[in-house]
Amino acid sequence: MSRGLPLSTRGLVHLYHSDGHDVAALSGVDLHVAAGELVGLLGPSGAGKSTLLNLLGGLLRPSAGRIFLGDVELSKVADRDVDRLRSRTISLMLQGAARNLLPYFGVRENVAYAQLVARASGATDLPEVAQVLETVGMLARADAPLGSLTPGQLQLAAVAAAVATEPAVLLADEPTSQLDHRARDAVLDTIARINRELGTTVLIVTHDPEVASRLPRTVTIRDGRIGGEGRSGEEYAVVTADGFLPLPGHVLDDLPPGTLVRLERDDEVYRVLPVDRRPGTAR
């Protein structure tokens, strides 16, 4: 299997229907993740992280915008081809390890089952099950029933099933939630190792600042948009494709929506100068 593929979105919009109204879960997300990159998706609850992950995983179709997986425009691929892509190229880990595993199988069989589905889609060059288990450090517990595993082991088992076909892209929704520190570190280490050794592009949704701090790049989603980006601990604002610049939360405290500002450039420095505050919008 080829290694990681780049993943990108352009003007991604997703609406859902609730109580008779259309609600925008995502409203113009432009995101680019390079091949083999490890990226964390951050943001408050309801910001649209999981929706974005589901769109990237092909579980949902966007209301507007485009999604690219390498050269393939995922948002235009037929359902059957999306299934085929999911069987080999994109792997999605849902929040809660058990939701990723067949409960009546052991770890080995879950990995084998994932490969079985991939083979049914035409895959031939799949790794040995034992090799996959070794990669995630679960070879010793390969035949244990799921009910006998610790939460950390269960999450590793879910990771094993997710990477059983050595996918190009791994999308993981809160893979470390409800885990203690040791288990969390083990899972993160495993995912990082997979990213490093297999070159898999990894996108992790997390709430955990400690997890975020361990990721080389983070993207913050806020109100359905890219709200910022962090690289090696530094937080940045991101100018969107249509020229908007979502301000980080702490800046918004000073510059509430509706504030009139003047931008000034001084060599390499841009200054934002508030000119006036409209009545009723300022604190």
Q: How far is it, in rounded angstroms, from Cα 14 to Cα 17?
A: 10
Helices 79-88 and 107-120 sit at what angle, rounded to 10 degrees? 140
Closest CB to another protein among 102 and 245? 102
- Minimum CB distance to another protein, residue 59 (Å): 5
Q: Which parts of this chain interact with another protein (CB under 8 A)? A: 54, 57, 59-60, 79-80, 83-88, 92, 94, 96-105, 109, 113-114, 117-118, 120-121, 146-147, 161
* CB nearer another protein, residue 35 or residue 59: 59
Q: Torsions phi, psi of 56, nearest 5? A: -70, -30
Closest CB to another protein among residues 25, 215: 25
Taking the least distance from each CB to another protein, the nearer of 103 and 243 is 103
Provide, for the chain, the percentages of residues in helix, strand and coil under a 3-state DSSP scheme, each rounded to the nearest 5. 35, 30, 35
Closest by Cα among 229, 170, 240, 258 to 13: 240
Transcribe 79-93 into DSSP letters: HHHHHHHHHHTEEEE
**CB nearer another protein, residue 169 or residue 247:** 169
Minimum distance, C-beta of residue 96 to another protein, in the bound complex (Å)? 6
**Shortest approach of another protein to residue 235 CB, angstroms?**
32
Structural contact between residues 168 and 2, judged by C-beta atoms closer than 8 angstroms = yes
- Name the minimum Å distance from CB 117 to another protein: 4
* Shortest separation between residue 185's beta carbon and another protein, angstroms: 21
**Maximum distance among all Cα pairs of the chain, rounded to whole angstroms:** 67
Minimum separation from the CB atom of position 148 to another protein (A): 10
Cβ closer to another protein: 133 or 247?
133
Token pair of 166 as six digits: 């050595």
CA dihedral 219, 221, 226, 229 (to 10 degrees): -30
Residue 48 Rama label (left phi>0; alpha psi -120 to 50; beta)? left
